[in-house]
Amino acid sequence: MMGIDRRGAINTALAYVLWGLLPVYWKLIEHVSSTEILLHRVIWSFLFVLLLLGFTSGLPQFLSEARQYMKVGRTWIYLALASTLISINWFVFIYAVNHEAILQTSLGYYMNPLIAVLLGYIFLKERMTLLQSIATIVAALAVLYSTLSHGQIPWIALILAFSFGLYALTKKLLQIKPLYGLALETLFMLPCALIYWFYLMVGGNSSFVGVSWFTTLVLCGAGVITAVPLLLFARGAQRIPLYMIGFLQYIAPSLAFILGVFVYDESFSRTQVITFSLIWIALFLFSFSYTKWGSKVRMRQVALKKY
C-alpha cells in the first residue's frame, strides 16, 4: 500500500464490508414489515447522530451550519429530494432482503457506478470516455437480457441503482458533511416516521413492543448500523485516491452476492449467470478506464477527435 494512507484504506474497506453484510442484520427481523423497519431506521439514525454530535461537541456547529443551510431556498428542495431518494433506497433494500431478493440488491449496487457516470453525463455534462460508454451499453444489454428472459424488468436492482445514483448527485449539489447530511435527511423524514409509529402503536400492530426484547434491540440498533459505516467511509474516503474508492466499492455487492447464493440459498439461474457476467464485464471496462492504460485510450480518443 505504498503511497496510500493505510488507515484511510482500512476505514473505507470496513465501511463497504459493513454495507455488504447489512442483509444479515435485516434478516434478523424479517418477521417485521419493511415499512416498520424503515421508520425505526429513520428514528434511531436521527437520535444516534444527535447523540454522536453531542458527545463529540459537534452539536453547536451542526445547529449553526443547519441554520445557514436553511437560509438558502433551494437547500430545502435538495434536502427533501435527498430524503425521499434515500428513503426509497432504504425501503427497497430492506424489502428485497426480506423477500429473498438479495441477488437483485447485489446487481443494483454493481450497476451503481455505471449509473453514476451516466447521471453525471446527463445532468452535470461530464464527459464519458469511450470505455465508459461501452461499459454502460454492456450494462444496458444485461438489463435487457434479464428482462426478456424473465419477462419482467429487474425493478429492485434498477430502483436501488438509480435512487442511490440520484441521491449521490443531489448530495453533490448540496455539499453537506456526511454526518450533518444524515442528521438533516432523517430529520426531514422524522415526522412521517413518528406519525406512522404512533398509528402502529395505537392499533396494536407495532413489533417494537410485545414481540421480543431481541426484536426491540435490533430495531434500535438500526441507527448504529446506518451511521457507523457512513462515518468510516467519510473518514477513509478523504485519505485515499478516488480510483481506490472505485475498486473498494465492489466489496459490498460482492458480499451480498455471496450471501444470496451461498448463505441464503437464493436461486442462481442461467439467466442470472449471463446477466451478472455482462455486468462484471461492464465493471471491468469501467474500472480499466481509470487505470494508466485506460488513460492512454482516452488520450488516443482525444487525439482522434482533433483530426
> If you search the block for the grid coordinates 492512454, which residue do you land on?
296
What's the mean pLDDT in 239-252?
83
**In sequence order, which residues have a C-beta less than 8 Å from that of residue 97 and are 6 or more positions away?**
22, 23, 26, 27, 30, 105
**In sequence order, which residues have a C-beta less than 8 Å from that of residue 283 and are 6 or more positions away?**
110, 113, 114, 135, 250
Indicate the SS3 state at residue 185. helix
pLDDT at 72 over 80: no
> If you search the block for the grid coordinates 407495532, which residue do you land on?
206
What's the mean pLDDT in 291-300?
55
141-156 pLDDT per residue, tens: 999 999 998 788 999 9
Indicate the SS3 state at residue 238. coil
pLDDT at 260 over 70: yes
Residue 294 is predicted with a pLDDT of 53
Kindly report the pTM of this predicted structure.
0.89
What's the mean pLDDT in 93-109?
95
150-174 pLDDT per residue, tens: 788 999 999 999 999 999 889 888 8
Cα separation, 166 vs 214, whole angstroms? 35
Residue 180 is predicted with a pLDDT of 86
pLDDT category of residue 292 using cuts at 50, 70 and 90: low
Q: Which residue has the higher pLDDT, 77 or 259?
A: 259
What's the mean pLDDT in 92-113?
95
Residue 76 is predicted with a pLDDT of 83
What's the mean pLDDT in 241-256?
87
Check: CB of residue 260 under 8 Å from CB of residue 103: yes
pLDDT category of residue 95 using cuts at 50, 70 and 90: very high
Q: In the structure grid, which three cell numbers stand for residue 190, read together?
A: 422524522
